[in-house]
Amino acid sequence: MTSPASGASGAPDLPDYAPIPRSALGPALNDQGYYVGRVERNLYWVTDGVYQSAFLTTPDGVVLFDAPPSIGGNLRRAVDEIAAANGVTNTVTHLVYSHHHADHGAASSLFGGDVIRIGHEETRRLLLRDGDPSRPVPEVTFADRYTLEVGGERVELAWHGSNHSPDNIYIHFPGHDTLMFIDVVNAGWVPIYNLNLSEDVIGYMGAPAIALSYPWTHFIPGHLGRLATRDDVAVHQAYIADIEASSREALASVNPVPYYVAGGENAWAGVKGHLDAVTERAAAPIIAKYTGVLAAADIEVFTLTTTFQIMQSLRLDRGPSGPVHP
């Protein structure tokens, strides 16, 4: 392990970033480090300020949606608090996985072996592959759609293709005017590295439009400290569309030849020089435009790596990757 240089306080010295817009922040956490709030009726969300989870209380049991380890035991406390306040059972009977990633599911095992776990069939396959005892595999799986009915409530699960991960699903609560869709849009914040660590660039870029095609007012995005609105999704779409347009402009305007000439027999030096120049040219106006609009937009490496991924996808997925040799 390495540690960054520390100042007098012992905390690492970080660059002097732009202030976080107040609108990007959520409600204060309690002494145990969580906030639980009502989304609508008997649907609740929980946050530790960075990760989010949700649960539905019903007369027949509680349905949990994701179990991020950073919230961990506070999920149990949040469910107990709400169940006690409303005089309903606190027994967790079902757990839905949004996708297979550990950072959203590794508190699953805290809820024992009797819980019915539900997920996409690819989530099951990936969890079997990864063999992590903290994420028991879902025994109920589906390919495209699944309607979950518990205690008179209905939740519609759907898979519309790969995006952030191959198995990331849309969780619609038609009776609660809510959509839960994880790791694509961060409410009020830029995506972190490489489009929020996403595997499928084209799928990731198209996913917000699919999310908006559902009727909802409340959006549970998985990050960070508050819920999102339809406007938040639109700002995210504009950020990504601006990166795409800027990448096209930069690809067309940066002449690769001098970089390859300078690289000589080191072909990879030429590739790096060219693609770094395209990435920096494409990302610079985006960082300037969104600083103060999306929180942490001035953390350059996030927009640079996201721009690099989109620019590469424009070349490799959509094409052309370059001129055809005569």
Task: Name the residues that contact Zn ion, by CB under 5 A.
Answer: 101, 183
**Contact 95/115 with Cβ under 8 angstroms?**
yes
| DSSP run (H or E) holding 23 | none
| DSSP run (H or E) holding 253 | helix 230-253
Q: How far is the CB of 107 from Zn ion (least distance, A)?
A: 15
Query: Phi and psi of 314, rounded to 5°?
Result: -60, -40
> Residue 97 or residue 259: which is nearer to Zn ion going by CB?
97
- Residue nearest Zn ion by beta-carbon distance: 101
| SS3 of residue 42 by DSSP | coil
Residue 188: other Cβ atoms inside 10 A = 26
> Residue 94 or residue 101: which is nearer to Zn ion going by CB?
101
> Residue 95 or residue 254: which is nearer to Zn ion going by CB?
95
Query: Phi and psi of 54, rounded to 5°?
Result: -145, 160
Q: How far is the CB of 112 from Zn ion (least distance, A)?
A: 24
**Contact 262/225 with Cβ under 8 angstroms?**
no
Q: How far is the CB of 255 from Zn ion (least distance, A)?
A: 38
> Residue 183 or residue 244: which is nearer to Zn ion going by CB?
183
> Residue 42 or residue 47: which is nearer to Zn ion going by CB?
47
Residue carrying structure tokens 């592959």: 129
Q: How far is the CB of 155 from Zn ion (least distance, A)?
A: 20
> Residue 93 or residue 194: which is nearer to Zn ion going by CB?
194
Q: How far is the CB of 43 from Zn ion (least distance, A)?
A: 22
Residue 304 corresponds to which tokens in the numbers above? 């640079």
**Contact 156/172 with Cβ under 8 angstroms?**
yes
Pairing relationship of beta strands 92-96 and 116-120 according to DSSP bridges: parallel
By C-alpha distance, which of 212, 221, 234 is closest to 185? 221
**Contact 314/244 with Cβ under 8 angstroms?**
yes
Q: How far is the CB of 234 from Zn ion (least distance, A)?
A: 22
**Contact 132/121 with Cβ under 8 angstroms?**
no
By C-alpha distance, which of 238, 228, 241, 245 is closest to 185? 228
Angstrom distance (rounded) from CA 224 to CA 239: 18
Q: How far is the CB of 227 from Zn ion (least distance, A)?
A: 18
Query: Phi and psi of 160, rounded to 5°?
Result: -120, 35
Q: How far is the CB of 251 from Zn ion (least distance, A)?
A: 29
> Residue 196 or residue 279: which is nearer to Zn ion going by CB?
196
**Contact 104/182 with Cβ under 8 angstroms?**
yes
Q: How far is the CB of 322 from Zn ion (least distance, A)?
A: 32
> Residue 105 or residue 273: which is nearer to Zn ion going by CB?
105
> Residue 42 or residue 53: which is nearer to Zn ion going by CB?
53
